[in-house]
């Protein structure tokens, strides 16, 4: 992409309404634009990151054997009356009427809708287990939308639903989700710690939230510092292996880690004092097992091998896709701007032409641009006729992991400068060496 043809409405001033770094930086880097309280447009740079995060989640869900679907954002109130949640959900639900005066709503979550799909097609244990998920916009009329995409009213969420014959099978689905979530967050460069939580209006027995530690997080969390040393890493996982998934779940949840809703001071005191931590965190996901709550209310029954009709065991599992973009920035930025982890970066590298219009510099940039593209990488080339200082500031702000600086002086000896955004370290190397290094870096 050439910056001269791009839409990157960078702001020089710090927007007054933005209280936390991610909100400030997303506005300043031209990633989002607010259209109403808690409702945002995603501009080209922001959308690229959102899609990268979404893709990681899709890939990991697919590996876990979960099937992608897409359900509508607008639902009929009737299904919610069946489960009893139409009244229970309260003011966070956006309700409206269609032209025939029927009660409609904008989906805040989709347990009812998926249960309706299930009961319309499945009635035998032979069709189980089944897990389906979607990545779709949700609306919750939050009392205090704030912090940009962190607490929006409209937000992008992955929501998955498992259907199993027994509680045991459903707990395997629970553990499978926990494993796939740990993998997803780590791939985004984040540590998200599973913490025992409260189930809220979704209802249920077992539930964990995933929290990214951050001073600006909205949740108060209490944990044994040993949980921060756990890494998923690149273990081989067989998602059909019940014991393997269960032992990972135990490994990641047996130490004390809870949100304030379930915090138990007596149990916390048993953690050795030097490891006891009270901090803040951003909730980036949650998994639930809620048994037969919806299947009983809505008649989602299956025949077991003895021919009896029993309600199916269910759970639901969410990831805050749009919130994650903010959480990644909270975890990875400095005073100059964002620092994207390589897995989610909107462009692989930036090219800065120090002397736009200089024949040699222009053609060196063009050839770098073409070689990088041919190697399967996406560069963002700042080809505007601007001062070098402004170009550097923009590149630092938008946070691409690598910057290639091209100028007449270096080119005299056939060299360009490759700079790492995170470390600030620069190397003067040949354009060919740049390509080689970046290809390895991103492979």
Residue 410 binds which entry of Mg ion, ligand ATP, none, CB below 5-8 Å type-dependent: none
* Window contacting ligand ATP (CB under 6 A); options: 12-20, 272-280, 284-292, 383-391: 284-292
Q: How far apart are CA 208 and CA 182, in angstroms?
A: 12
Q: How far is the CB of 167 from ligand ATP (least distance, A)?
A: 21
Report the 10 Å Cβ neighbour count for 229. 8
Of residues 154-213, those binding ligand ATP (CB under 6 A): 155, 157, 200
Q: Which is nearer to Mg ion, 286 or 295 (CB)?
A: 286
Using the contact rule CB under 6 A, the part of the chain among 222-230, 277-285, 334-342, 402-410 near ligand ATP is 277-285
User: For residues 264-323, which are near Mg ion according to CB under 5 A?
Assistant: 286
Measured from the CB atom, the residue of 180 and 207 that comes closer to Mg ion is 207
Tokens 């779940």 — which residue? 249
Complex with ligand ATP: residue 202 or 226, whichever CB lies closer = 202
3-class state of residue 302 by DSSP: strand
Torsion angle defined by CA atoms of residues 318, 321, 326 and 327, in that order, rounded to the nearest 10 degrees: 40
**Nearer to Mg ion by C-beta: 277 or 286?**
286
Q: How far is the CB of 281 from ligand ATP (least distance, A)?
A: 11
The reply on whether position 286 binds ligand ATP by CB under 6 A is: yes
**Helical segments of 271-387, H only:** 293-298, 321-331, 359-374
Q: Which one, 142 or 386, has the nearer CB to ligand ATP? A: 142
Using CB atoms within 10 Å of the CB of residue 170, give its burial: 0 to 12 exposed, 13 to 18 middle, 19+ buried: buried
User: Least distance to Mg ion from the beta carbon of 207, Å?
Assistant: 8
Q: Which is nearer to ligand ATP, 103 or 141 (CB)?
A: 141
Residue 155 contact, options ligand ATP, Mg ion, none, Cβ 5-8 Å cut-off depending on partner type? ligand ATP
Q: How far is the CB of 332 from ligand ATP (least distance, A)?
A: 18
Per DSSP, 14 falls in state: P
The sign of the CA dihedral 53, 59, 63, 66 is positive
Contact of 352 with 405, CB cutoff 8 Å: yes
User: How far apart are alpha carbons 371 and 173 in whole angstroms?
Assistant: 45
DSSP 232-280: -TT----TT-HHHHHHHHHHHHSS-EEETTT--HHHHTTS-GGGEEEEE
- The smaller minimum CB distance to ligand ATP, of residues 180 and 286, is found at 286
Q: Which does 256 bind (CB under 5 to 8 A by kind): Mg ion, ligand ATP, none?
A: none
Helices assigned H by DSSP within 90-189? 111-121, 167-187
Residue 148 or 399 having the CB closest to ligand ATP: 148
Position with the least CB separation from ligand ATP: 320
Separation CA 149–CA 14 (nearest Å): 17
How near is the Cβ of 318 to Mg ion at its closest, in Å?
7
Query: Using CA of residue 346, residue 347, residue 348, residue 350, what is the dihedral sign?
Result: negative
Stretch that binds ligand ATP, among 289-297, 320-328, 376-384, 388-396 (CB under 6 A): 320-328
Q: What are the CA-CA distances from residue 393 to residues 17, 47, 389 (Å)?
A: 22, 21, 6
Interface residue with ligand ATP, options 237, 284, 349, 365 (CB under 6 A): 284
323 binds, among ligand ATP, Mg ion, none (CB under 5 to 8 A by kind): ligand ATP
Q: Which is nearer to ligand ATP, 158 or 403 (CB)?
A: 158
Tokens matching residue 386:
């601007």
Cα dihedral: 78, 135, 153, 98 (round 10): -30
Q: How far is the CB of 264 from ligand ATP (least distance, A)?
A: 19
142 contact choice in Mg ion, ligand ATP, none (CB below 5 to 8 Å, kind-dependent): ligand ATP
Q: Is 151 in the site for ligand ATP (CB under 6 A)?
A: yes
Q: Which of 182, 185, 237, 233 is nearest to 343 (CA)?
A: 185
Q: Which does 320 bind (CB under 5 to 8 A by kind): Mg ion, ligand ATP, none?
A: ligand ATP
| Rounded least distance, CB 266 to ligand ATP, Å | 25
Largest CA distance in the chain: 82
Interface residues with ligand ATP (CB under 6 A)?
109, 140, 142, 151-152, 155, 157, 200, 283-286, 318, 320, 322-323
Interface residues with Mg ion (CB under 5 A)?
286
């Amino acid at each position: 992409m050439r910056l001269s043809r791009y839409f990157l409405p960078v702001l020089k001033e710090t927007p007054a309404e933005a209280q936390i770094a991610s909100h400030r930086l997303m506005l300043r880097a031209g990633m989002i634009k607010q259209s109403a309280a808690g409702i945002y447009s995603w501009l080209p740079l922001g959308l690229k990151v959102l899609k990268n995060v979404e893709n990681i989640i899709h890939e990991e869900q697919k590996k876990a054997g979960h099937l992608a679907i897409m359900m509508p954002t607008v639902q009929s109130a009737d299904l919610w009356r069946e489960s009893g949640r139409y009244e229970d959900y309260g003011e966070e639900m956006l309700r409206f009427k269609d032209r025939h005066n029927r009660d409609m709503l904008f989906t805040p979550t989709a347990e009812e809708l998926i249960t309706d799909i299930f009961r319309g097609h499945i009635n035998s244990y032979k069709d189980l287990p089944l897990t389906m998920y979607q990545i779709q916009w949700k609306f919750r009329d939050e009392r205090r939308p704030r912090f940009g995409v962190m607490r929006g009213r409209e937000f992008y969420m992955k929501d998955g639903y498992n259907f199993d014959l027994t509680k045991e099978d459903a707990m395997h689905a629970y553990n499978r989700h926990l494993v796939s979530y740990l993998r997803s967050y780590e791939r985004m460069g984040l540590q998200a710690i599973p913490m025992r939580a409260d189930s809220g209006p979704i209802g249920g027995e077992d539930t964990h939230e995933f929290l990214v530690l951050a001073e600006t997080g909205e949740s108060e969390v209490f944990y044994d510092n040993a949980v921060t040393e756990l890494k998923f890493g690149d273990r081989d996982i067989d998602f059909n292996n019940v014991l393997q998934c269960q032992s990972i779940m135990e490994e990641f949840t047996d130490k004390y880690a809870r949100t304030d809703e379930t915090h138990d001071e007596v149990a916390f005191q048993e953690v050795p004092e030097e490891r006891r931590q009270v901090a803040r965190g951003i909730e980036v996901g949650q998994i639930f097992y809620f048994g037969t709550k919806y299947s009983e209310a809505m008649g989602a029954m299956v025949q077991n091998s003895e021919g009896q009709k029993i309600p199916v065991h269910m759970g639901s599992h969410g990831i805050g896709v749009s919130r994650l973009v903010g959480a990644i920035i909270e975890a990875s930025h400095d005073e100059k701007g964002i620092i994207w982890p390589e897995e989610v970066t909107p462009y692989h590298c930036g090219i800065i032409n120090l002397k736009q219009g200089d024949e040699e510099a222009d053609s060196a940039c063009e050839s770098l641009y073409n070689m990088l593209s041919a190697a399967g990488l996406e560069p963002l080339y700042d080809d505007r006729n601007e001062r070098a200082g402004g170009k550097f500031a923009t590149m630092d702000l938008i946070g691409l992991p690598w910057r290639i600086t091209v100028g007449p002086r270096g080119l005299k000896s056939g060299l360009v400068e490759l700079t790492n955004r995170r470390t600030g370290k620069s190397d003067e190397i040949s354009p060919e060496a740049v390509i080689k290094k970046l290809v390895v870096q991103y492979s």
